[in-house]
Amino acid sequence: MSGEAAQPAGAGTSEVPDGEGPAPRRLTPLRIAALYAVLGATWILFSDRVLEALVPEGPLQHQLQTAKGWFFVLATAALLQLLVRRLVAELRQRDERIRSTLDSMPDAVLVLDEGARVVEVNRAAVDLLGAADKPELLVPLAALAERFQLRRADGSPFPPGRYAPLRALRGERFRGYEAIFRRADGRDVYVDITASPVHGRSGRLAVAVVRDMSELRRFEEMREDFLATAAHEFKTPLAVIKAQAQLLQRRGEGDPHGLQVLNRQVERLSRLTHQLLELSRLRLGGPELRRETYDLAEQVAEVLARLQSLAAGHRLTLARREPAPVYADRERMEQVLVNLMDNAVKFSPGGCDVETTVARLGSEVQVSVRDQGLGIPRDKQARIFERYYRAHAGTPEDYGGIGVGLDMSREIVSRHGGRMWFESEPGAGSVFTFTLPLAEGAAHG
């Protein structure tokens, strides 16, 4: 974006006429030079002849010839000065236009030269950083980053040389690069950086466009806090409803089918509540994982059996099972398994098979959950792990959910040193897979 913006700003300004209608005929440098060539040649050719015809040979004619020479030199100097002044004025005007265009932009813009030195900033950059004036920002990028404590969005430092604009100087392009810095007044600001290389005649430059995201971030935090508080408030009433329903079931009172439905729905609501709470915990850095060594394959089998009782229309199978000792947080891994299997059931409305496999591959265990359901539309696949994103929202296949399960599951798996991904064929089904490192000593056993 910024690369595209930089090019027309420099290239097009001199072509734009100031007023309406056709551009006025102006004394351009080329015209001045042409005029000079014509007048100079005429003068050289005819002035001597005119002088000889008017003044007889003698000292007066010699004096007049010297004066004529001086006149020629002075006229040339005057013309040259006119030319240079026009050129300088034109450059200034062009520079002024570029500057005022940059200054009118709401986002901060920084231009870096090949030596990674900031050579231009706009007004918004001065305001965003809380600096006193532009010149104090025209320093090497590393010095600027150090002064304003530029960090990654999670607060960790950037490895040296990894700043987006530096990488843009090496030809890379960035969009949506999140970072934090500390303003001159001590306030932390969340920003989104777009950086692009620009190839000019005077070498390679990099342009960084920095957008203040603090407001948006604050709203996001408010939303997350609100959801966490609401989820917390739901916990107690849900536990009471669940206990009462179980009591009625034990006593054999009430409609058994109704109580079963009630149990199932309470279970679902509890899971959503739990997901929201867990998500906010993970967001805040999360409590430590409570790890223990246990067999993941056994856990998969247990979860399958439990969910099978809630998904009567589906056949949940464990197609491959290999012992898989892992050093993991049992409770959190259960959430991951429940999320994947629950999704597989939910998005297979026809009630087909859901096939799970647990296989060892080198030093890892790989768990896959395959369904033959709706699949995920191709144009939505890239966003599937985004928080609150629901690929089927607003379609006839919207089976509810709040879109946090996959985000949370991937976060949990990556905290254990594993990876999660999926493949999906719209109309044919999906397979979600994750890996976990095997517990130490078990890798090749």
Minimum CB separation of residue 375 from ligand ADP in Å reads: 6
Cβ-based nearer residue to ligand ADP, 52 or 425: 425
Task: Report how far residue 352's alpha carbon sits from residue 317's, in angstroms, rounded to the nearest whole number.
Answer: 11
Task: Report how far residue 193's alpha carbon sits from residue 52's, in angstroms, rounded to the nearest whole number.
Answer: 75
3-state secondary structure of 159: coil
- How many residues sit close enough to ligand ADP to count as binding (CB under 6 A)? 21
Task: Report how far residue 176's alpha carbon sits from residue 191's, in angstroms, rounded to the nearest whole number.
Answer: 9
Name the β-bridge partners of 423: 431
3-state secondary structure of 244: helix
> Which residue in 414, 435, 410, 411 sits closest to 296, CA to CA?
435
Minimum CB separation of residue 369 from ligand ADP in Å reads: 7
User: Considering the rule CB under 6 A, would residue 278 count as an interface residue with ligand ADP?
Assistant: no
Name the β-bridge partners of 291: 329
Minimum CB separation of residue 378 from ligand ADP in Å reads: 12
Q: Give the CA distances from residue 180 to residues 177, 208, 287, 356, in Å, rounded to whole numbers and listed in that order.
A: 10, 15, 24, 42
User: Considering the rule CB under 6 A, would residue 371 count as an interface residue with ligand ADP?
Assistant: yes
User: ∠ CA(21), CA(26), CA(28), 5° rounding?
Assistant: 135
User: Considering the rule CB under 6 A, would residue 420 count as an interface residue with ligand ADP?
Assistant: no
Minimum CB separation of residue 379 from ligand ADP in Å reads: 13
Helix 330-346 and helix 256-283, axial crossing angle in degrees, nearest 10? 120
Q: What residues between 394 and 413 interact with ligand ADP by CB under 6 A? A: 401-407
Minimum CB separation of residue 372 from ligand ADP in Å reads: 10
Minimum CB separation of residue 373 from ligand ADP in Å reads: 5
Cβ-based nearer residue to ligand ADP, 165 or 375: 375
Considering only 6, 376, 420, 442, the residue that binds ligand ADP (CB under 6 A) is 376
Q: What residues between 310 and 349 interact with ligand ADP by CB under 6 A? A: 339, 343-344, 347
Stretch that binds ligand ADP, among 127-135, 172-180, 235-243, 374-382 (CB under 6 A): 374-382
Considering only 391, 413, 438, 439, the residue that binds ligand ADP (CB under 6 A) is 391
Considering only 430, 434, 435, 439, the residue that binds ligand ADP (CB under 6 A) is 430
Stretch that binds ligand ADP, among 7-15, 83-91, 244-252, 389-397 (CB under 6 A): 389-397
- Element housing 109 (H / E): strand 108-112
User: Is residue 122 a contact partner of residue 108, using CB atoms and an 8 Å limit?
Assistant: yes
Tokens 């062009």, residue located: 94
User: Considering the rule CB under 6 A, would residue 370 count as an interface residue with ligand ADP?
Assistant: no
User: Considering the rule CB under 6 A, would residue 261 count as an interface residue with ligand ADP?
Assistant: no
* DSSP secondary structure letters along 22-66: SPPP---HHHHHHHHHHHHHHHHHHHHHHHHHHS-SSHHHHHHHH
User: Considering the rule CB under 6 A, would residue 165 count as an interface residue with ligand ADP?
Assistant: no
DSSP classification of residue 146: H
Residue ranges in contact with ligand ADP by CB under 6 A: 339, 343-344, 347, 371, 373-376, 384, 390-392, 401-407, 430
